Each structure stands twice: as C-alpha cells, then as structure tokens.
C-alpha cells in the first residue's frame, strides 16, 4: 500500500508539473486585448524592446517556480511519512531526551532540517533567477543569512504551535481543533504586534525617514486619514533588491509606516505620496482588521477540516503512513501536508478579497491626491522595476495576485480621469 500511495503521489506531481509547464510556456497569452494597445497600460509605451522580452521570460519562469514549489512541499511530507522517516525522527527524539517537551523539540529539529534541505535548492534557483534578471542585488551570504533566520523563526513558531496542539490532542480528544483555534486568537494578535519591532529588524535596518520634508507631507496625509503615526520609517532594501515597495504594518502602538529606500530613490515625491495614500487607505477602511477576522474564520474551518481528514486518513492508511494515532507526533507531516493543501485551495478566494481591497485603496489614493499622472507613473515604474506582466495569464492572476493586474489598475485610473473631465 505504501508503494502504491507513493507511486500515485509522484505521478500526480509529475502530471501537475507538466500541465503548468504547458500552460505557462505554450498555452497562456499575456498580450493586451486590442482596445488597450497604445494606452498608458500598454507596456510597449513605457518599456523598451529588451525590457518587454525580459519581462515575459522572467514572469514565465517565476510563475512556473511558484506553481511547483507548494506541490514539492506536499510530496516531501508524503515521502517523509511513507519512508518512515517521521517515525524514525520520533524514535531518535525519544532516545535523546526523557521529557516530552524536549522530545518534541528534537523531533522538530530533525523534521525542519530535512525540510530545509529539501526546499533550499528550489529557493536557490529562485534567488539565482532574480539575480540573473537584476531584480535581486543581494549577495549569496546575505541571502543565506535570511534563509537561516527564516529557519529559526519558523522553527520557534512551529515548536510553540505543535507543543500546544499535540497537548490538546492528548487531553481534549476530538475537540482539539476548537481549543487550538481559541488559543490561536491571542497568539496571532501578539505576533502581529511584535512583527514590526522584533521580527522585521532581524532582516533589515529600519530608521526614521531622512527626508524630513517628505516625512512631514506623509504624516499630514496620515493625520487627515486618522492614522496615529508619529514617524515614517525607511528600510535599507537597495542592498537586496531593485524592486519597489511601501507599507503600513503592525497593530496598536507598534503600527508604523515603512518605505523601502529603493522606492525613495526611484520614484518622484508625488508618486511616493500616492503610494503612501494607497497604503493608508488599508488602515482607514479597516482592511487589516477585516483580514484578521477572515483569517480567524478560515482557520477555525481549516482546523475542523484537518481534524476530520486526519482521523479518516489515519484510520484507513495509518499503517502505510507509519502513523499509530492522530495525537502521535509522527503525524505532524500529515497535519502540515493538509494545512498546506487547504491554504493552496483557498488562495483564489483570499486573493479575490485582497484584490478588491487593493482596488478600493487605489480609488482612495487617487481621490486623496488628485494626481492621476503620478498614479499611472507609479504603476508603470512598479511594472518596470519588478519585470511584472501587465496582463498575466488567468491562473496566475487567480493563484498569485493579491493585487489587481497592472492593466486593471492603470485602466481604472484612466477611467477616473475621464469621470473627472465629464464632471467639469
């Protein structure tokens, strides 16, 4: 049975990879519909021929890597179970420590190291690709440092979650998913509170915006939007990337406005103010809190589905997967496999909600700044800096895009311009 499950798993993965290779490189089209050609949304009007060619090449390869990365994770967890490695990690941990909490910590080290070894080659390919196309400016040592920081943050977070979840599985039986969800609420809020001041500085240096005149203008917009921000922070991203970004992060007293230095170096002041107005719109329209509420609802539903699936799978295929019970720590790869699958399946819905919120933020920003030229110029520069497709294939948009496509964003700005002219 184990061989059959493994064979079907590998075959499904191969068919999945072949489908997306065919779809991205041979079937899908990213050319603009005729009615948009020659408009400000047409990349041929603001990119040269080389940039157009590089955008298509880079986008196709990057999208392909995205679509195969998550299934590789699924295949990894499946093989870890089928080959009995999860059970072996459990046995080693029990031989190494007396107390259960230490055994779980040791088990997670083995599993995390195995996952790191399995996924790092694809991460390196992605890093090398961004270097080749001049998106990334990061040195290998700096990239590896970030990978190791990711490893230890993920390990520490996973250790806390696993310790609580498997304790609940042993103590609460079939209701573990509900009690785990209740505990996740304060934990999620606490992590969001810590993110800007504890986690983010591990990767980059943050400091108050050097351009005080620009900071004053940004804070004026923030005050008019009712955002309690006292400082705008600048982060040194130029040593890692040529991409552009800005965001509002954190909750409560730790909320802050952040600008990448690449954005400051490349965009005009009016374009930066448009981006800031866009980011502040998320605060004004309570998108962060709507997102938290949505996450909690989906996590409740997700944990319930996982609990039902784990019981059914262990009952039917537990012997083949080398899992004796749901509350056995050796079942963790199955939990992570199901969690990853649910997140992947639900991503089209969450991306749709996100795109709607981003569209609302664009509208808010253009109404606040009243500068459509700066707005369109911003989107054109973002396209150029990230080598992004203006009109990506449908499946790429559905599964990857939490923002509207550049075609949609620029077109809406042009429609807004037309509305304003008609009202005059």
pLDDT digits (tens, 9 = 90+) for 1-38: 777 888 888 899 999 999 999 999 999 888 888 888 88
Q: How many CA atoms lie within 13 A of 317 on its CB side?
A: 17
Model confidence pLDDT, tens digit, residues 198-230: 888 889 888 888 888 888 888 887 777 777 666
Model confidence pLDDT, tens digit, residues 119-134: 999 999 999 999 999 9
* Residue boundaries of the structural domains of the chain: 2-203+286-404
Instruction: pLDDT band for 424, please (50, 70, 90 cuts).
Output: low
Catalytic-labelled residue, pool 73, 215, 234, 279: 279
**What pLDDT was estimated at residue 230?**
67
73 is catalytic: no
Please compute the mean of the pLDDT values over residues 339-348 and round it to a whole number: 95
């Amino acid at each position: 049975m184990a061989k059959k499950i493994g064979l079907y798993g590998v075959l499904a993965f191969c068919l999945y990879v072949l489908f997306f290779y065919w779809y991205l490189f041979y079937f899908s089209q990213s050319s603009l519909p005729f009615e948009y050609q020659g408009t400000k949304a047409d990349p041929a009007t603001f990119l040269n021929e080389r940039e157009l060619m590089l955008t298509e090449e880079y986008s196709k390869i990057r999208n392909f890597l995205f679509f195969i990365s998550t299934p590789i994770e699924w295949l990894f967890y499946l093989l870890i179970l089928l080959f009995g490695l999860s059970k072996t990690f459990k046995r080693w941990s029990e031989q190494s420590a007396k107390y259960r909490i230490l055994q779980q910590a040791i088990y997670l080290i083995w599993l995390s190291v195995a996952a790191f070894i399995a996924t790092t080659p694809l991460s390196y390919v992605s890093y090398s690709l961004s270097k080749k196309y001049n998106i990334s400016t990061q040195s290998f040592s700096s990239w590896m440092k970030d990978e190791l920081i990711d490893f230890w943050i993920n390990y520490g977070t996973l250790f806390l979650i696993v310790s609580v979840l498997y304790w609940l599985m042993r103590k609460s039986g079939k209701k573990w998913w509900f009690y785990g969800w209740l505990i996740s609420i304060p934990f999620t809020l606490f992590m969001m509170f810590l993110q800007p001041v504890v986690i983010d500085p591990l990767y980059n240096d943050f400091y108050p915006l050097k351009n005080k005149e620009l900071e004053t203008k940004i804070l004026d917009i923030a005050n008019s939007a009712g955002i309690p921000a006292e400082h705008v922070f600048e982060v040194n991203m130029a040593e890692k990337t040529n991409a552009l970004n800005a965001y509002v992060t954190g909750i409560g007293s730790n909320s802050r406005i952040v600008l990448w230095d690449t954005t400051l170096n490349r965009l005009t002041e009016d374009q930066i103010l448009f981006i800031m107005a866009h980011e502040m719109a998320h605060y004004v329209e309570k998108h962060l809190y709507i997102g938290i509420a949505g996450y909690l609802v989906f996590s409740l539903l997700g944990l319930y589905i996982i609990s039902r699936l784990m019981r059914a799978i262990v009952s039917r295929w537990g012997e083949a997967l080398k899992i004796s019970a749901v509350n056995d720590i050796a079942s963790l790869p199955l939990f992570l496999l199901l969690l990853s699958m649910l997140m992947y399946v639900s991503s089209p819905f969450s991306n749709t909600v996100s795109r709607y919120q981003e569209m609302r933020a664009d509208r808010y920003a253009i109404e606040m700044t009243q500068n459509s030229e700066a707005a369109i110029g911003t989107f054109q520069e973002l396209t150029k800096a990230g080598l992004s497709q203006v009109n990506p294939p449908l499946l790429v948009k559905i599964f990857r895009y939490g923002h509207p496509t550049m075609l949609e964003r620029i077109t809406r700005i042009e429609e807004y311009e037309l509305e304003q002219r008609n009202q005059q």
